[in-house]
Structure 1
Amino acid sequence: MTKLYDVIVVGAGSMGMSAGYELSRRGLKTLLIDAFAPPHTEGSHHGDTRLIRHVYSGGPTYVKLALRADERWRELEEETGEQLLVRAGVLNIADPSVYSYEGRFRDAREHGVTFEELDAGQVRERWPGVQLPERYRAMYEPDAGYLYSDKCVAAYKKLAIQSGAKLLTGTFVKDVVPSRSFVTVVTDEGEYMAHKVVVSAGAWFKTLEPFVRLPIRAVRKVVAWFEPSSPAFDEGRFPGFTFGDENGGFYGFPSIAGSGVKIGRHDGGEEWRPGEPLTPFGSLPEDEADLRRALGSFIPGAAGKLLRGAACKYEHTPDEHFIIDTHPVHPNVLLAGGFSGHGFKFASAVGELLANKIELDDWGQDIGRFAVSRFSLPEAR
């Protein structure tokens, strides 16, 4: 029998689960559907940790969203009694001939975000384990840090269900069929109807074509944990970090509870299509070699024995900016995708945006730069 809800959320990963929590706590009858059992390893939220920063590239829209996300993460901690955000600080390092932080500094000053601008000598003095050429520059954010990503999704899941949301796991969405008054979501377990639908399908958006065709390219990404040479790289002593030069952009975390220094690469990656197997870490020789080489260049004391590795997915848009908008044809369907490897930190605020739009018909913040209309799209059904 077809069941009717106020809202159905297709894809209950980081963005979808946050939206499900926001919607259900506002009293909306909400159904979350996921092909797996979140938190899981089939999307983009696994791997233990994600950086959260406020001095953000991309302009004021991102800075405002990051600050709001931080507030919402703190509120989630208060509601659950769990520590989800660790203010370890984040050290951002760049070759100024490749990347300048000036735009970030300007936006940070405008929005009252605390940061320090450091030269190579100042970085080495504060963190002796960091090795930098003299020309490099750094930006340190003392109030930034990292989120426990799997725990965040689990917390939203628990609270959403407590607020009355229903969660269908192991359920594959085959189609979304809107009409003027309702939207029918067709799954391999039956059909469900709602007044409105949120589609936050991550790397799986292509399975919903031709209902929606978005320029989202999913790629395989790897992260690895290496044994450091000393306690200088442990949590509480060493910050989260990013660094970039002509060899690429990398990000990482201190050794948390002896897990090892974690590092991943933001750019690059092998294209992946839904239904294809995701080859495990170590399947390609560069999986370890690329990350080890980057650590050896900047933080050689952290490039010890490989402790473990993991493969996950990024979902890139052509400009690496998000898509948060209504469907180009159906106003009772919202789209949230293309978070391009830097979206998790915003999940708490994105869920709020989506709930605002559904409940109040107002996003609550200017998010025009995330409009789907910036792309020339094939005709949607």
Structure 2
Amino acid sequence: MQTYEVIIVGAGSMGMAAGYYLARRGISTLLIDAFDPPHTMGSHHGDTRIIRHAYGEGRQYVPFALRAQELWAELEQASGVKLFSQTGVLSAGAHDCAFLREVRESAERYSLPLEVLTAQQVRERWAGIELPDHFYACLEPASGVLYPEKAIHAYRQLAAASGATLLTNTKVTSLQMDGEEVVVRTDSESYRGQKLLVSAGAWNKPLLQDLGLSVPLVPTRKTIAWFGADESLYGAERFPAFVFHLDDSMFYGFPSIDGAGVKIGRHDGGQAIDPDSLERTFGCYLSDEGDVRSFLETYMPQAAGGLRQGKVCIYTMTPDEHFIIDRHPDSPHIVFAAGFSGHGFKFASAVGEAACQLLIDGESKLDLSMFSLSRFS
């Protein structure tokens, strides 16, 4: 049985980043993935992701987001691949919106650039947005768009160049603690690891159950869609990525990049699923297109053109929609990263670095206390 210093189960966004940072430190690292990353079976496909710094989900995320941005820039330089476009991010909602209040307070606490705009100022600057008068918006000019598949591919190449081993299309069938080590069994071989990172996205829950952990995770079917749009209004050179908080829903989207059309998704809602039997056909629910088209017709009508394409992906939700990044309470040589609840990719670089530090140094340089599993006890 081959032995590695660290085995990573799940080499998607978080796992591939961790594999690179471990291999770069000279740690013998085996990454195992059920698919061939980057792929379309989990949570990282769809061309683009928003990265925000002034964080409406909680100001505690800001240092994490800023470190992630630094690491994405380093990855761009190391790989020679463009991974980020500074489009700016516009967050909009009603005057009493708690999310926007937290965006403003995050920016003030960490001295982040932020423009606060009235509805009229928004309409004057971006003719493609019809914002009602009781709304306002916050523009983060330093934020923008990441390219997730390119980023994972870059981490993969650099990890391999640094000596990491990657097994693709290899399903892990069980995890077994064996004293101070872990045995990872696949459908063809078994491997022994001195340390283990479990970062398998929607497949985390049964793997963590093998390790005696009950983790509150709900894989959820989500969709994204691209619509034909007026390029003079919504092209990436003039239109920001956006997040809209409405009374009963939240939508996010992207300018038309390279003429692909405006991409949009609904953040809340979705259907709880088993990832192994997910219905991956876009349009099998009327809401797949209906929800996002209705939003565009109301707030960005010149972007509500013909449907260009639609895709299905997965969120893995926690009860409070905050992440779980922790060590096994009884086996500190085991680390897990789970439940990124639809807003995790922007942090993947920093999560990978933090997981590497937890495994090798015993602690992360970033404060991860809010992501502890014990909060659900």
Distance 2:194 2:60 in 1: 29
Count of aligned pairs: 375
Aligned counterpart, 1:144? 143
Distance 2:278 2:341 in 1: 20
Aligned counterpart, 2:170? 171
- Give TM-score scaled by structure 2 length: 0.97
Q: SS in structure 1 opposite 2:61?
A: helix
Deviation of the 1:207 alpha carbon: 3.0
Provide Cα deviations, 1:17-46, integer angstroms capped at 9, x if missing partner: 000000000100000000000000111000
Q: Kindly indicate whether the alpha-carbon contact (under 8 Å) linking 1:89 and 1:143 is maintained by their aligned counterparts in 2.
A: yes
Say whether 1:332 aligns with 2:333.
yes
Distance 1:227 1:204 in 2: 34
Aligned counterpart, 1:359? 360
Q: SS in structure 1 opposite 2:11?
A: coil
Distance 1:344 1:225 in 2: 20
Aligned counterpart, 1:227? 228
Aligned counterpart, 2:316? 315
Aligned counterpart, 2:268? 267
Q: SS in structure 2 opposite 1:101?
A: helix
Letter in 1 for 2:265: G
Of 28-37 and 240-249, the range deviating more from structure 2: 240-249
Distance 1:210 1:179 in 2: 12
Distance 2:60 2:24 in 1: 26
Distance 1:181 1:207 in 2: 21
Aligned counterpart, 1:43? 42
Aligned counterpart, 1:257? 258
Q: Kindly indicate whether the alpha-carbon contact (under 8 Å) linking 1:233 and 1:254 is maintained by their aligned counterparts in 2.
A: yes
**CA distance 1:216–1:120, change in 2 (3 Å):** same
Q: SS in structure 1 opposite 2:49?
A: strand
Letter in 2 for 1:56: Y
Q: Kindly indicate whether the alpha-carbon contact (under 8 Å) linking 2:226 and 2:263 is maintained by their aligned counterparts in 1.
A: yes
Deviation of the 1:316 alpha carbon: 0.3
Aligned counterpart, 2:307? 306
- Give TM-score scaled by structure 1 length: 0.96
Deviation of the 1:100 alpha carbon: 4.7
Letter in 2 for 1:222: T
Provide Cα deviations, 1:310-348, integer angstroms capped at 9, x if missing partner: 000000000000000001332111010100000000000
Deviation of the 1:181 alpha carbon: 2.2
Q: SS in structure 2 opposite 1:275?
A: helix
Aligned counterpart, 2:118? 119
Aligned counterpart, 1:71? 70
Say whether 1:181 aligns with 2:180.
yes
User: Which runs of 5 or more residues in structure 1 are unaligned?
Assistant: 377-381
Distance 1:154 1:165 in 2: 14
Aligned counterpart, 1:81? 80
Aligned counterpart, 2:159? 160
Aligned counterpart, 1:350? 351
Deviation of the 1:48 alpha carbon: 0.4
Aligned counterpart, 1:236? 237
Q: SS in structure 1 opposite 2:275?
A: coil
Distance 1:137 1:308 in 2: 30
Distance 1:350 1:111 in 2: 20
Of 338-347 and 87-96, the range deviating more from structure 2: 87-96
Q: SS in structure 1 opposite 2:92?
A: strand
Aligned counterpart, 1:58? 57
Q: Kindly indicate whether the alpha-carbon contact (under 8 Å) linking 1:99 and 1:245 is maintained by their aligned counterparts in 2.
A: no
RMSD of Structure 2 on Structure 1 (CA): 1.1
